[in-house]
Structure 1
Amino acid sequence: MGSLMKNIVRKAAFVGAVFLVSGGIAQATQITFEQSLDRDSVPTSSVSGVRSVDFNSGLCGYASCTGNYEILSDSVLHPGPYTGSRRDPTKFLSVVGVAPATFGLGQSANYFGLLWGSADPGNLIRFLDGRNVVASYNGASIFSGATDGSQSLAASNRYVNFFNLPSFITVEFSSSTYGFESDNHTFGNVSFRDVPEPGSLAMFALGLCGLGWLVRRRQGKPADSAAQL
């Protein structure tokens, strides 16, 4: 390897190290959308080692269940969440009104997943470690624009995974507008691989672009000038 390339490699390593160290590693909650289906072709979680509540028995399924909720089957009056090709053919959870429905896990968890139906800004999910709310999200914060409460569009009916939540023991649902329909809840303690923060990735990419410019600039100079790099 020539002296020019050795110097460039050393500078590249330095640039990369500076940007990665300055950016750090994200520890915030990671939110993903899931495309796996259960035996009834209803969106569900593919995460292993978690507990599931599908409501198919007509019972709540959690360690404790309080507040304003119903377990329903799809009907004209109470449409189920859209599953991508049809409405949910199984029983699902419905919460109507600002009075919350609260479900105790019977354990602590840092992961939660659910089929979130007909998302709208009034849908609210909160995670609590007792009396304290450790995280909360509404439909607008998750679905980014597709929050018109549609019961027939895939964009507002999706399976959502919440990884790296602060430890919680209860989950609470409420809705200030339309009903909050959901199905196939999953929860547990799950390790999710840390990823660089978006700012770190952008800075590192900027450093690489600068390196490419440096290479092109040096290649266009006479050999005696390049040797001074």
Structure 2
Amino acid sequence: MSVLSGVSALVTGGTSGIGLATAMALAGRGADVAVAGRDEKRGRQVVAAIAEAGGTADFIAAELHGESSARELARAAVARFGRIDVLVNNAGVFPFGPTEQTTEADFDAVFGLNVRAPYFLVAELAPAMARRGHGAIVNVTTAAAAYGAAGLGLYGASKAALVLLTKAWAAEYGPHGVRVNAVSPGPTRTEGTAPRGAALDRAAMAGPARRPGTAEEIAEAIVFLASAEQSSFVHGAILPVDGGRAAV
């Protein structure tokens, strides 16, 4: 039997990059996956790819920005699959730039997607997990949440908030059987980070692996944390998947 057979999962930002790799990996382990994203064409392609590989998935169009959109997505996912056992808060934006060039609209957009949306997805889904006595929430943060870097203040701050929320939710829901953890990727090569070009390689050279990670490598860590069989005693952890960047 597949390790996630009978499990229903919701992956935000599931049409590209780490989210796409995570949706494929979860489905490959037997989970039924709700793939959430903005691009319906790409979403249908992901669902078709999962089906071709023998898995089960459905696409839910979602433009996440805060409470109403998050709760609407959560309810749609529950309506499709009956319940959600695993929530992967992956959707996010990662702007780079000087503080003085950041507008209030920029600030609100980043915190809306990176913090408010995960917060209210958890608010909507975690209580039902707790009533059932089991569930897993995996937040996708970043290595940049743990150190200061010029141009990364807004992005790093939003993900640092998610790090704290991971620990707070673990304390809140863990006693009821809901495991809440996070992965902290380092430089990772995806279509979203492609514009960084050689800068991504230079950033990766700071870690012992001396190369960027792949979306699939991050996804494997997410699957590990999502699986009660594999990580039953892991609560409130921030798992670095960063080529060793946290060690130096």
TM over 0.5: no
TM-score by length of 2: 0.27
Hey, which of these two has a bigger chunk of helix by percent?
2
Higher relative contact order by CA 8 Å / sep ≥ 6: 1 or 2?
Answer: 1
**Bigger CA radius of gyration:** 1
TM-score by length of 1: 0.29
